[in-house]
Amino acid sequence: MTEQTKIAVIGLGGVAQLIHLPNLLKINNVSVSAVAEINKNRLNTIADKFNIKERYTDYKELLAKNNCDAIVIATPTSTHKDVAIDCFKAKKHVLVEKPLARTYAEAKQVLAAAKKSKKKLMVGMNLRFRPDAMLLRSLICSGEIGEPFYVKCGWIRRQSSNQRWFTRKTEAGGGVIFDLGISMLDLSLWLLDYPSIQSISTRNFNHNTKDVEDTSISFLKFSNTSVISLETSWSLVLDKDDFYVNVYGTKGYATLNPFRVYKRMEDQTVDLSPSQPENPLALFKKSYINELKTFIGAVRDLNPLFSSGDEALLRMQIIDSMYKSSFQNKEIKFKP
């Protein structure tokens, strides 16, 4: 019988309640050994709902008393750095919800702590764990659409949280870039297999917010001549939410939402799309369960670590450059 992997969850907001705890309890040979949450009423309500006996209002007490193998951090962004570093000091593997931290400098400290502890650090970038996204990357890597040279992507919807900290730069790190843009950036870089970045140009707007951007438009150029166009917004006026990823290659193109693949063969364009694409909600739900299974597999040394701390550090450096470009109103040469 396979030994159980013990997972503790720190922070019991919406993502823990609706996604992480229900999914963890579905995975074979995994147990939720403890939870921590500073709001005592929420702590007891959620722990009772999921029948978790060990519960703490102070996560440091959890780290001192619970013998879990790994931690899922689902606290506000401003706390990620300190909580993650404390987890690594306690010799725990860590999955932290995106973004890893508020700044490149903070992310660097977390990564250093992970490497010092020799424990695994994964950042929750769930879009790449969608079944259709994984299939798309496989098709790109196998050359089905030729050499990819242009990704056009965007996500326009209401902000993910109404909590006050979410639109305060000192607490959240940023606005729509940190909420939606970071996920689209990660997915695009992953699909292109991380080409070397040459320059970044960004324009941010804050029409309905004061402290952070509510619309962001970016253009990234790469040394291999490929490009990414990325738009995210909480405030653009549309009749419905819009999420799209279009990848153009030298022999065809592919899209997500819905998943479609087209390939040019001689003088014809052939539709290689599946006849019955999956429901968007089902894909979203599967992305999180796949993410957790991948993390637990890495903790057990059954599979490589995906969405690593090193990748998160690069993303944070890119985002720092995006803000710099918008503030200075010019294209920024990128130096990794």
Confidence of residue 2 (pLDDT cuts 50, 70, 90): low
Per-residue pLDDT, 213: 98
Check pLDDT > 70 for residue 85: yes
pLDDT tens digits, 192-229? 999 999 999 999 999 999 999 999 999 999 999 999 99
DSSP state for residue 303 in the 8-state scheme: S
Mean pLDDT, rounded, for 13-25: 96
Strands 227-233 and 148-156: parallel
Q: Domains (ranges, CATH) in the chain?
A: 5-127 (3.40.50.720), 130-289+314-333 (3.30.360.10)
pLDDT tens digits, 304-327? 999 999 999 999 999 999 999 999
**Residues sharing a CB contact under 8 Å with residue 244, sequence separation 6 or more, in sequence order:** 152, 153, 154, 155, 255, 256, 257
More confident residue, 278 or 119: 119
Check pLDDT > 90 for residue 252: yes
Residue 204, SS3 per DSSP:
strand
Average pLDDT, the chain: 95
Per-residue pLDDT, 1: 42
- CA-to-CA distance for 235 and 222, rounded, in angstroms? 29
More confident residue, 221 or 239: 221
Residues 263 and 269 sit within 8 Å (Cβ to Cβ): yes
Per-residue pLDDT, 281: 85
The proportion of the chain whose per-residue pLDDT surpasses 90, expressed as a percent, equals 89
Query: What do you get for the CA distance between the two ends of the chain, in Å?
Result: 46
The proportion of the chain whose per-residue pLDDT surpasses 70, expressed as a percent, equals 99
Check pLDDT > 90 for residue 279: no
Instruction: Output the DSSP codes for 244-262.
Output: EEEEEETTEEEEETTTEEE
Mean pLDDT, rounded, for 36-40: 97
If residue 334 lies in a helix (H) or strand (E), which one and from where to where? Answer: none
Which of 184-188, 221-225, 237-241, 329-333 comes out lowest in average pLDDT?
Answer: 237-241
Mean pLDDT, rounded, for 265-292: 88
Mean pLDDT, rounded, for 25-37: 96
Three-state SS for 87-102 is HHHCCCEEEEECCCCC
